[in-house]
Structure 1
Amino acid sequence: MPNKKTILSLLGRKATKAATLAIAVLLQLLFFTGSANAQNVTVKGKVTNEQGSPVEGASVVVKGTTNGTTTDNTGSFTISVQRNAVLVISAINFSDKEVVVTDANINVKLEPLEKSLGEVVVIGYGTQRKIDVTGAVASVNLEARRDLPMTNVGQVLQGTVPGLNVGLSTVSGGTPPISIRGRVTLSGNQNVLIILDGIQYTGSLSSINPDDIATIDVLKDASSTAVYGAQAANGVILITSKKGRKSEKPRLSFSSSYTVQQPTIGDLRPFDRDGFIKFMTENFYDKAYLAPGYTQPNPSFRLQDWIDPVLGTPTTGLQPHNYDWFDEATKNGSIYEANLSISGGSDRFTYFLSGALVDQKGYIINDNFKRKTIRANLETKPLSWWKVGVVSSASFVNQDGAEPSFGSIQRMPPLLRPYDSTGTLIPFPTRTLEPSPFTTYYVDDVERNNYYFANIYTDINFPFLKGLNYRMNFGNNYRESKRFFASIYAAGQTGQAFKNYQNYYDYTFDNILTYKNTFGKHDVTATLLYGAIERQFNSTNSRAEGFTRLNLSYNNLSLGTNRFTESSANAEALNYQMARVNYKFNDRYLLTGTIRRDGFSGFSKNFKYGVFPVVALGWVVSEEKFMKNIKAINSLKLRAGYGVNGNQTAQYTSIARVETNTSYIYGDGGTTAFGQQVSSLGNDNLEWERTAGLNIGVDFGLLKQNRLTGSLEFYKNKTTDLLYSINIPNVTGFGSIRTNVGQIDNTGFEAAINYNIIRAKDFKWDANLNFSANINKIVTIRGIDANGDGIEDDLISSGLFIGKAIGTIYDYQLDGIYQLTDTRLPGFPVGSLRIVDQNKDNDITQAADRIVLGRREPAYRVSLGNTFSYKGFSLFVFVNSVQGGKNGYLGNNNPSYFREDNTIRINDLMGIDYWSPNNPNGKYPRNVSGTRAKFEPSYWQDRSFIRLQDVTLSYNFSKLLKKLPVETISAFVSGRNLYTWTNWEGWDPETEAADANGVLQAQGLLIGGRPVLRTFTFGVNLVF
């Protein structure tokens, strides 16, 4: 190494004193570094658990520095350190351990935390030990659910975290409805924010390969979601994909499974021929039986004289067929899955590469879902303090093929067939306007969605200032969709074809500066964020109708008589700034302060930006001296947070919009002129919806080795300035205007309890219980006292009631069914529902006789998971339940029958307990009078259920096959949706479908419902 004198001579005599001083300092740093390196030793070690098994991915860091590495799949590591340095070894679910370097070989055994407060969780823009977290953050236990059939990430989340509410999807690959805690808005954004590898993910959850996911964490309160500002009013789900780790050799992983799916509907299917004839006979009981009691058969009755003539023949009476439309449209479903990944790396470079295939065939024919995914997560360290990486994936989803109309399948009578004697489809088998359900099946249909995701990042730990880190994320979401369609039966049997192309792109650009350091008893982490998001959408559709032939399908639209072209596009932008400080004193007193400023192009010019502050406190009580003698309490933390989050409006709702329509024809035979008109009113004062939330939590670890751990949460949220469209007088030319009104309150309690019930040498039994309850209440709507009595009026037409839940049910109270000899109120025939006359005026009116019956929201949700391990066997049993309590979780379930021109030809579902004189205790109304009842009310029933949701049995063959070049071999069998205990009748109590107003409603015994599928899976996992 050149000495100081040599360097100075090279610079020349004109070198300034400042330069000389700088060079001298640099030389001292070089000499110091060389001296330190001279004392370094190479340490090789191995990290194991209490059973002696290797701990992969454990972090090995020199205390007080950023010098570190991770263990490979054998638990081994190599690191260069100074002699007598202190190594800090840490891993998820294990206690940290410090080891002084006195030898070149080190063996470390970690003790389990059993999900205690030492667990590391992902938070917004970073990670944190759970003991240092002041917000409501929960982690999903993915390992227990790896062997379940998961075509969609959402399916694995059901019942896993208290406060995370996940429903069911009944379509292949479908995303179930997901919400966190209570509903905080009336018509603002209600979507949970999905963060994938640090970037907002706007694609479908169906595009993510669940096997690529390393962790899922859920942020539930204002303290934890504040860093995401207005995007996070409905909670946040953080998904982190797998990454490569340093290892001596590449790690190859392969898994494959096959699933059989069967419906859980039991006898809920349409009538066959005999059942249909009997059903129709009862629908004509006033003809088929003799008066006055209508229970004695009428010998002269012939059904073909009364039902639709299409079901009969001139000579033989009824059509002779017994066609099973339901069986023709359904079959047992299946899912085939295969996943292959390779990962590994060195000190300078790590990689994770994967590919996967899913092929699902649903219960309804052509309900198909195919997905191919590839992933490449790469990270390199050009310098010891600088990382550059990319997290990327592509997903190709194929949903070609169109289903037959499942509702029409259930209506079609078995006396009719879909094909004529030549095998040609009969377009209108009932000779009415209702087409054959197979006219939507025998079509050319291509539906493809390609999703591309990439987050390119750089991460710098500045060497000149300890604890200072800069990270840049440039995240990209791109989706291209195409839908091609052709049907000779569409457009009134004239034929229709179209080609639709859509593309969507957004980018997220985040600059994150983090400073972390410890000063004596003070531990400080400060985070600054500046970011921007832009989103763009484009759509082009070409369509033609009136084809003489469709031999070329959708590939030559010019053959259509009428041709149309439509296009659309939209864009929006956000930018934001955030500052957060995490402060810890003496390892027991915690403070988190966050402030975020959001800007959104969709708001009016007066309120483009909103500012949202949060503060939270924590106290690690178990670190206090007075707690040290309480042996049963290993860890105990109290925390409380209060803050405000925003919620944004839909794009273009704050401005006046203009529509173009055909408006005028000049003269007879003239061309149509297009005109423009203002279609909505703008509101320059439309501002951010705000949710202020208080969260109080307790985290604990009790008994020896933290055998009992958990958390308790209490929260109260208040949402004000609700985004809502208020009706205005039609004299203005408009029906409503988007504005800010009212207040909603949400109060809730959550508990997550984990208990290691048995810890024997070869046998373990772990149980986890999740419980959540939420009550929402509308406090004010418009703040208008129309009556002058100081009490705000309800918005009955919108179903909104002051002091009641959003899902309040305001309807008629029922009291059975009118029998033949009953005295009936005016307007109610025999066989119709008896409505309670609330004001006793001998009449039923909407204003006087409706009351609050209950609410749609459940009272509480509870789930219980048990994991049993014996040697190589593992059994996972999971039970999930939603309960309504008193008058809660109600759904409309009223399959009423009214005899009219349409119903004398259509089929119905077996098992519906319709009233008739032969069945006077029947539950559901049957009206054959020819006159509809004055009111046909809903029949509200309790949807509460308990479900044996998941059972998985697996066996690890690794110990039996030690001589094979395989690290792990396991096989498993699992079942899902195995049995449901409920008093609800019909389709599954948890499934919902949107009604004409877009509101999700329970399906019950209604025609058109879809079954939930019971699944059985067989699979194998291999790791080389």
Structure 2
Amino acid sequence: MKNLPLIQVPLEQALQKAFENQHFSYKIVEKTITLLPGKANEATQNIQEAQPKSWPLKGTVTDSTNNPLSGVSVHLAGTNKGAITDQNGHFSVFVHQGDMLEFTFIGYRPMQVKVKAPSDYGEGLQITLRQEEATSLNDLVVVGFGRQKKANLTGAVSQISGKDLENRPVSNIGQALQGLMPNVNISIANGSPNTTPSINVRGGTSFSKNSSGNFEIQTGSPYTLVDGIPMDISQVNPEDVATVTVLKDAASSAIYGARAAYGVMLITTKKGRKSEKPVLSYSNDFQWNHPAARPDLLNAYEIQKATNDAYAFTDQSVPTDKQTKLDAIEAYMKDPLHNPAYIMSVAGNDSSSIIWVANQNPYDEAVKNATPMMKHNISLSGGSEKTTYYASASYLGQDGIYKMNTDKFKRYNANFNLSSKITDWFTMEFKTNYYNTEYKQPVYPSGKGGWWRALAQEPGRNINMPLKTPEDAPFGMGGLYTDNILSFMDYGSLDQQNTENLLLAVSPTFQITKDWKIKGDVSYTSNNYRGKTIIPVLDRVETSWLNTDNVYTSPSSVSKTDQHFNQYLINLYSDYSYSTHGHNLYGLVGFNQEWYNYDELNGSGNVMITPEVPVIDQTTGERNASDGASAWAVRGVFYRLTYNYKGKYLLESNGRYDLTSKFPKESRGKFFPSISAGWRISEEPFMASLKPTLNSLKFRGSYGSIGNQNVSNYIYTPSYGTTAKVSQLFDGKRPVGVYPPGLVDPNITWETASTLDFGLDMTLFQKLDVSFDWYNRTTSDILVDGDKYPAVLGAASPTKNSGELKTVGWDLSIGYKDRTSYGLNYSVNFVLSDYQTEITKFDNNPNKLLSTLYVGQKMGEIWGYQSVGIFQNQDQIDKATSQKLINSAVWYPGDMQYANLNGDSVISGGAGTLADHGDRLIIGNSTPRYQFGINSNFSWHNFDLNIFLQGVGKRDAYISDNLFWGAILGATGTREVYENSWTPERPSALYPAYRNASKNVIVQTRYLQNAAYIRLKNLTIGYTLPQAIVHKIGLQRLRFYGAAYNLWQYSKVPDIFDPELLSANYPMIKSLAVGLQVNF
């Protein structure tokens, strides 16, 4: 027996030393060591001949400046075995001769090394990783019908990785994209689980009519394609996304033609990798959603006292019944057990039998403090030498914030991508995607609005009035719903919505030669929507308490909607590349055909036999049915030609000839070309001395035009309308009526968007990336109403191409990434953008009325009066310019005084035109300006941190919401205005006297809000278990994380409003989440 002083050496090395020169040897089979007769060296030699021997390979990984890199993944290709470098860059991994080692590290180029014999590594393996080339210039960027090196791009293109969307506690990809790319403007209407964010690229796009029938500037959405197939962005599972690319200028988008006038969003989904063993991944997160803001409502006593105090502002005495009500409210609030929530009517102005004196908070009654949401995602990917695959499935379940009749949202996604190289020259790709959502919420009868309307109702219908009458109420009216508007939420009405979408696509590729290929896409998409609304009868106690009424819900009703939308697509395109002596040519030509069919069927029935069987067939009242159908198609041929010389001088042209069925045959076809050029001045010999500092600098410019066919179907075709029955009797019957068709313009054609863009891209110190674009986009031939004809004609004027607008703006993107000597890796990306849109032609308003569009108008203009201050006494009122044209009522101390800007004898809005706008002026602009995002990522050892800030640098808003102004507009109010309103004791208060006087809150400078804000949009902290631990439990990767969404914000907007919403609507959501990611 002998002792060997061996410490921390591999087992095989220790055994070889122990059995050296012995008469027996050993054999290792899995975890068992077996002794064998014979000398160790002979037995070992036999074993080595029988099977390859593993041995520990040690080494060090450094960067190009010889600094050690910690956290580098050292992985045996095709296995789940490997190691992570320590703080000194050291690693040790068991290998066999001939193994392939892969070294990967964020921000550095991956590297592969084939293992040689042990004798070749006397001092270990020395690896030097190089940083990724400046601005990832060799990275491929997704463009129309292909990819290009980022270095060769000449258009305005932004791209982010799907990793930027991961681990965010949001329900859809639109929320995750907000603030990540410059001038990709994402607005979120509210915090409802079923809300889909709207996306706009670079500002104003066209005109549209508002609910009042007046034209306004529209901010249209980009054309969105997923793996080359048109698809709604809400149908994409964020976990499936590989890249998101936005083509912003006409030169980049022209190849897509008809629907790409205002940008293109290209989403690619994840795919398997060649020679990759199956990787099963699972991730989840569980989160709690909270309303981001809660209004601080006045209580019943404060509201009634403010009402009573208001009488003194107009030199009146408080009526007896109002004082009695105030006393009763005070008594109830002090002792609700011994004082009823109502009193009997007394002599005075109130004619009701009952007066409510309770103290309710409608927000607390309607809204939960927290609601749950969960997401689960599972995927399987892998591949062989010829076939790759990726499959995923996900589920999202989210409860809304309704406390009564809770709204609920569910989403199911499934995605499958398969690619197989069948021969050396033929590859087939197959894609399928399935999407299904279910949403339910309470529904309100016509004219009653949403639950948030309850917050702004008159106090007698929410603050003072409970949801139901007490059980011991008089007149036998106990336990019934009251006139509280929240009763519509609680009583059982229901709105159900179900959306189901299926995509099937195949894409064959023929590789004719090394440089020439032909590819096709054939896809079918089915979109189905089913909706059902159930409104039972709601009996509510009348204000007299003598009867009940169901005026808003009688008769009961059930209605159903079925909509079907089918999309068919064919693409066929071919590309060819050729290079010689530094000249690089690339050409692509293709054909595109798309068909769309839509049909819907609507039915309704009144008087349900029982709400338990809410089907139209079980109604006994009037039944109605209607349907509709439409179809349209687009066809185009397109091309792309690119040339570059030694990667320095870049030239590209894109174009498309489009045909659309939405216009007459004579004008439905049009050619839309574009051209762009670039100069990589950093590659010139005279810039060589600056190369270590100025690593890359490229100037580029582009100009192009694209047609816009996103208009209504059949606008060029005279269409008859029908009515179910006319009012007159013919032979004792009311026949179906037919409306004559309106007038149409046979020459109607495309709107055209033309964009001029100049930009630069540069990289400094191999760490700092900067990209800037300035653009000018003009949309011409916008569809508007034609010239008005005499009324005796009996028909409206036809639509014609006669409008024009101009949008000028810029985009800025700055990225910085580095690594400290302590092993901290970090990157910071900053995006900033701005635009302004102006009307340059609008013939429909020759007098330039301010109530609609006019030439010279900028999008978002706010017209209002200039505030002087608050009248303090009658003497000031008597000396001031008359304000009777604003409001003919008597003006009192505590009312607003407005400036006389035109010097006449009365304050007014003049003729309401640009030439005569009286005392009004442009006081602000509601367009969000200087939208920005700051996305920061940090990693240290196994910890990672993401901090994402988003906001708007400049925006004006005038809040006219009843909830904000409270009693000034005859509504329930908040403490913000009440405690800062004028009284004789508060002469310098910000707000006017707290009484019902809408004349005091017309649009004016004093109450214009600064709606700029900055928000901590996302905060994620993660920890990945060390591989040494993970491998022991049979996993490849295990990461835990916590995340927060909308955690903090700074804004000067009153706290009751979210700066993104600026209205009393379904509130924005603040979320806290925990989750995990595991790879098997």
- Calculate the TM-score normalised by the size of structure 1: 0.82
Q: How far off is 1:333 after superposition?
A: 2.1
Structure 2 residue aligned with 1:347: 385
Change (3 A) 1:818 1:496: farther
SS of corresponding position for 1:357: strand
Of 628, 631, 648, which aligns to 1:571?
A: 631
**Any idea what the Cα deviations from partners look like across 1:777-820, whole Å, max 9, x if unmatched?**
22222299x6xxxxxx534231x243331222233333334445
Cα distance in 2, alignment partners of residues 667 and 783 from structure 1 = 41
**Any idea what the Cα deviations from partners look like across 1:582-614, whole Å, max 9, x if unmatched?**
111122111111111111111233311121110
Structure 2 residue aligned with 1:908: 973
Q: How far off is 1:907 after superposition?
A: 3.2
Q: Does 1:374 align with 2:438?
A: no
SS of corresponding position for 2:736: strand
Q: Does 1:674 align with 2:736?
A: yes
**Any idea what the Cα deviations from partners look like across 1:891-947, whole Å, max 9, x if unmatched?**
4445476979x94xx633443346342654444455757x86499446532211111
Please identify the structure whose Cα radius of gyration is greater: 2
Q: How far off is 1:535 after superposition?
A: 0.9
Change (3 A) 1:933 1:761: closer
Matches within 5 A, 1:213-612: 213-266=241-294, 268-271=295-298, 275-287=299-311, 289=312, 302-304=323-325, 312-314=343-345, 319=356, 321-331=358-368, 332-365=370-403, 366-402=406-442, 405-410=450-455, 411=457, 412-421=461-470, 429-430=482-483, 436-439=486-489, 442-462=492-512, 465-489=513-537, 492-554=553-615, 556-612=616-672
Change (3 A) 1:742 1:100: farther
Percent of residue pairs bearing the same amino acid type: 23
Cα distance in 2, alignment partners of residues 72 and 197 from structure 1 = 30
How many positions carry a matched residue from both structures? 913
Q: How far off is 1:881 after superposition?
A: 1.8
Cα distance in 2, alignment partners of residues 216 and 932 from structure 1 = 48
Cα distance in 1, alignment partners of residues 959 and 489 from structure 2 = 30
SS of corresponding position for 1:174: coil
Higher mean C-alpha displacement, 689-698 vs 934-943: 934-943
Q: How far off is 1:472 after superposition?
A: 0.7
Structure 1 residue aligned with 2:90: none
Partners of 1:893 and 1:941 within 8 A in 2: no
Question: Can you give the 5+ residue segments of structure 1 that lack an aligned partner in the other structure?
Answer: 1-45, 59-69, 77-87, 787-792, 993-1001
Cα distance in 2, alignment partners of residues 535 and 307 from structure 1 = 65
Change (3 A) 1:75 1:897: closer
Higher mean C-alpha displacement, 218-227 vs 729-738: 729-738
SS of corresponding position for 2:524: strand
Partners of 2:992 and 2:1000 within 8 A in 1: no
Structure 2 residue aligned with 1:883: 953
Change (3 A) 1:307 1:134: farther
Q: How far off is 1:659 after superposition?
A: 1.2
1:803 counterpart letter in structure 2: G
Structure 2 residue aligned with 1:194: 224
Q: Does 1:812 align with 2:849?
A: no
SS of corresponding position for 1:680: coil
Structure 2 residue aligned with 1:176: 197
Structure 2 residue aligned with 1:948: 1016
Structure 2 residue aligned with 1:63: none
Partners of 1:319 and 1:416 within 8 A in 2: yes
Cα distance in 2, alignment partners of residues 461 and 425 from structure 1 = 80
Structure 2 residue aligned with 1:67: none
Q: How far off is 1:550 after superposition?
A: 2.8
Cα distance in 1, alignment partners of residues 149 and 870 from structure 2 = 61
Structure 1 residue aligned with 2:1060: 991
Structure 2 residue aligned with 1:774: 835
Cα distance in 1, alignment partners of residues 480 and 606 from structure 2 = 18
SS of corresponding position for 1:249: strand
Q: How far off is 1:304 after superposition?
A: 2.6
Q: How far off is 1:960 after superposition?
A: 5.1
Q: Does 1:796 align with 2:850?
A: yes
SS of corresponding position for 1:629: helix
SS of corresponding position for 1:225: helix
Cα distance in 2, alignment partners of residues 742 and 408 from structure 1 = 37
Change (3 A) 1:286 1:582: closer
2:407 counterpart letter in structure 1: D
Structure 1 residue aligned with 2:92: none
Change (3 A) 1:90 1:762: closer
**Any idea what the Cα deviations from partners look like across 1:948-997, whole Å, max 9, x if unmatched?**
221111111133514232111111111111111111125545434xxxxx
1:742 counterpart letter in structure 2: G
Q: How far off is 1:255 after superposition?
A: 0.5
Q: How far off is 1:557 after superposition?
A: 2.6
Q: Does 1:1014 align with 2:1070?
A: yes
Structure 1 residue aligned with 2:1046: 977
Partners of 1:92 and 1:119 within 8 A in 2: no
Give the root-mean-square deviation of aligned CA atoms: 3.8
Of 663, 674, 682, which aligns to 1:614?
A: 674
Cα distance in 2, alignment partners of residues 596 and 307 from structure 1 = 75
SS of corresponding position for 2:530: strand
Q: How far off is 1:727 after superposition?
A: 6.0
Cα distance in 1, alignment partners of residues 840 and 276 from structure 2 = 62
**Any idea what the Cα deviations from partners look like across 1:260-304, whole Å, max 9, x if unmatched?**
1111214x1443xxx2221222123244x598699xx99996153
Cα distance in 2, alignment partners of residues 873 and 577 from structure 1 = 51
Cα distance in 1, alignment partners of residues 1001 and 135 from structure 2 = 56
Structure 2 residue aligned with 1:19: none
Change (3 A) 1:226 1:891: farther
Change (3 A) 1:898 1:337: closer
Question: Can you give the 5+ residue segments of structure 2 that lack an aligned partner in the other structure?
Answer: 1-58, 64-68, 84-101, 209-217, 330-339, 347-352, 445-449, 539-551, 912-917
Matches within 5 A, 1:922-961: 922-925=989-992, 928=995, 933=999, 936-937=1002-1003, 939-959=1007-1027, 961=1029
Cα distance in 2, alignment partners of residues 416 and 720 from structure 1 = 55
Structure 1 residue aligned with 2:40: none
Partners of 1:692 and 1:718 within 8 A in 2: yes
Structure 2 residue aligned with 1:116: 136
Partners of 2:1042 and 2:1074 within 8 A in 1: yes
Q: Does 1:129 align with 2:149?
A: yes
Change (3 A) 1:575 1:248: closer
Change (3 A) 1:385 1:54: farther
Matches within 5 A, 1:646-725: 646-648=707-709, 649-662=711-724, 664-667=726-729, 670-678=732-740, 680-703=742-765, 706-725=766-785
Cα distance in 1, alignment partners of residues 1000 and 981 from structure 2 = 18
Q: Does 1:963 align with 2:963?
A: no
Q: How far off is 1:712 after superposition?
A: 1.1
Matches within 5 A, 1:13-162: 111-113=131-133, 115-162=135-182
SS of corresponding position for 2:255: helix
Change (3 A) 1:108 1:441: farther
Cα distance in 1, alignment partners of residues 694 and 871 from structure 2 = 64
Structure 1 residue aligned with 2:904: 841
Q: How far off is 1:872 after superposition?
A: 0.9
Q: Does 1:825 align with 2:883?
A: yes
SS of corresponding position for 1:229: helix
